[in-house]
Amino acid sequence: MARDYAADILDPVAREIVTNVGIWVDREVIPHVAEYEHEDIFPEPMVKGMADMGLFGIKIPEEYGGLGLTFECYAGVCIELARGWMSLAGIINTHVLVAWAINEYGTEDQKRRFLPRMVAPEIRAALSITEPDAGSDAQAIKTTATRDGDDYLLRGQKMWVTNGQRAGVYLVLTKTDPNAQPAHRGISAFLVEKDTPGFFVGRNLPKLGYKGVETTELAFDDARVPARNLLGGEEGRGFQQVMSALEVGRINVAARGVGVAQAAFDDAIRYAQKRVAFGKPIFEHQAQQIRLAEMATKIRAARLLTFDAARKKDAGLRCDLEAGMAKLFATEICQEVVLDAMRIHGGVGYSKELPLERYYRDAPVMVIAEGTSDIQKLVIARNIVRDYPV
């Protein structure tokens, strides 16, 4: 395991859990990840290991059988998972996000019906926002939910749904009032169960990276969803509920950026000390020392930004500014660090025999997932301008 860079950041409980996850990653993930990743195979043994450690219930309160741990701890866990394989942190992302949304906004009935089953997990969760014509602009969704007695009929299509094939419950953003102005007032979120009549899981979409975890289409053809599965039991609250939950997702993606960048740096600095060029290890060449120093500094800054956002969320406060900054910076520097690590390795870094090419393919999805870098900049700008009234 690499140096514990979080030892001076995390509280003692979180530090112990994160350390244990890191040991598991070194033992059970890193030696086996290439065979799963290159074949794009769902890593059943690794997911079972995550479940055995209780990671699917990490943010579910103890009263429902979960661990009820902090976002600070969750961020540290996601960094370690991503250090081994970024896809593992993606597998738990929407599960934890949806569990948090149910606990934060759900009715008591919804909490009792879903949260205990999400701990083991008996069922896993997926988030469904994006559509063929609505990505970053979530208010432009066209999927509708129309009241029909004690049910709602959902009609529409969703895209890029992580865990789409294996989930048992889907948090789905819909329009219950397509004519509402502003549009977000007509948006509602539903908990759609997999066996819902009229609900279909489509094909698995092939991707450049982010292998091992499925990304699918969903279709709703007058899917009949009980009214008691309207998140919180009130129409028109879905946009705010999901945007708040996306703060959880952005902390996860920021942590993934830190983890992948850390993995690339670990490989690069070890290689730089072993590889001899012009009569000495390349680490002794000043150009490479400068490159590695910049890499380490960027990773440290991204790590601190990520834990800062997590602590703000732990305090029960809105952290769209902090999560946006962390997600923006961590994912952008991840791409930079991975490319620098490839430069340090030279030609061998381009080979599939080393994990660098996997890092290089995984990094781009993180600048897109849970809101692109440009969206994060808009979120940041809208927040900081409030501190400078004219």
**pLDDT for position 390:** 85
**pLDDT for position 137:** 86
Rounded Cα distance between 183 and 298, Å, is: 39
Rounded Cα distance between 29 and 8, Å, is: 25
- 60 CB-near residues (< 8 Å, 6+ apart): 66, 67, 68, 99, 103, 115, 118, 119
For residue range 324-363, list pLDDT tens digits in order: 999 999 999 999 999 999 999 999 999 999 999 999 999 9
- Report the candidate in 75, 367, 74, 52 with the shortest Cα–Cα distance to residue 210: 367
Residues of the chain with CATH 1.10.540.10: 12-119
Average pLDDT over every residue of 101-105:
98
- Residue 4: is its pLDDT beyond 80? no
For residue range 253-299, list pLDDT tens digits in order: 999 999 999 999 999 999 999 999 999 999 999 999 999 999 999 99
Residues of the chain with CATH 2.40.110.10: 125-236
User: Which 3 state secondary structure label does DSSP give 211?
Assistant: coil
What's the burial of 135, exposed, middle or buried (CB within 10 Å: 0-12/13-18/19+)? middle
Q: Which CATH superfamily is domain 12-119 in?
A: Acyl-CoA dehydrogenase/oxidase, N-terminal domain (1.10.540.10)
At residue 353, φ and ψ (nearest 5 deg) are: -75, -20
User: Which 3 state secondary structure label does DSSP give 147?
Assistant: strand
- Report the candidate in 341, 337, 136 with the shortest Cα–Cα distance to residue 246: 136
Residues of the chain with CATH 1.20.140.10: 240-387
- Report the candidate in 223, 262, 334, 244 with the shortest Cα–Cα distance to residue 80: 262
User: 14: which 2 tokens?
Assistant: 């979180």
Tell me the C-alpha to C-alpha distance, in Å, between residue 376 and each of 115, 181, 371, 381: 30, 24, 7, 9
For residue range 269-282, list pLDDT tens digits in order: 999 999 999 999 99
What's the burial of 157, exposed, middle or buried (CB within 10 Å: 0-12/13-18/19+)? middle
- Residue 8: is its pLDDT beyond 80? no
Average pLDDT over every residue of 355-381:
96
- Residue 316: is its pLDDT beyond 70? yes
The listed CATH number (2.40.110.10, 3.50.50.60, 3.30.70.100, 1.10.3210.10) that belongs to domain 125-236: 2.40.110.10
Structure confidence at residue 135 as a pLDDT band (50, 70, 90):
confident
**pLDDT for position 3:** 55
- Asked if the 240-387 domain carries CATH number 1.20.140.10, the reply is yes
User: Which 3 state secondary structure label does DSSP give 371?
Assistant: coil
The DSSP secondary-structure symbol of 43 reads -
**Per-residue DSSP letters for 255-308?**
HHHHHHHHHHHHHHHHHHHH-EETTEEGGGSHHHHHHHHHHHHHHHHHHHHHHH
For residue range 12-59, list pLDDT tens digits in order: 999 999 999 999 999 999 999 999 999 999 999 999 999 999 999 999
> Which sequence positions are flagged as catalytic?
370
pTM recorded for the entire structure: 0.95
- Residue 177: is its pLDDT beyond 70? yes
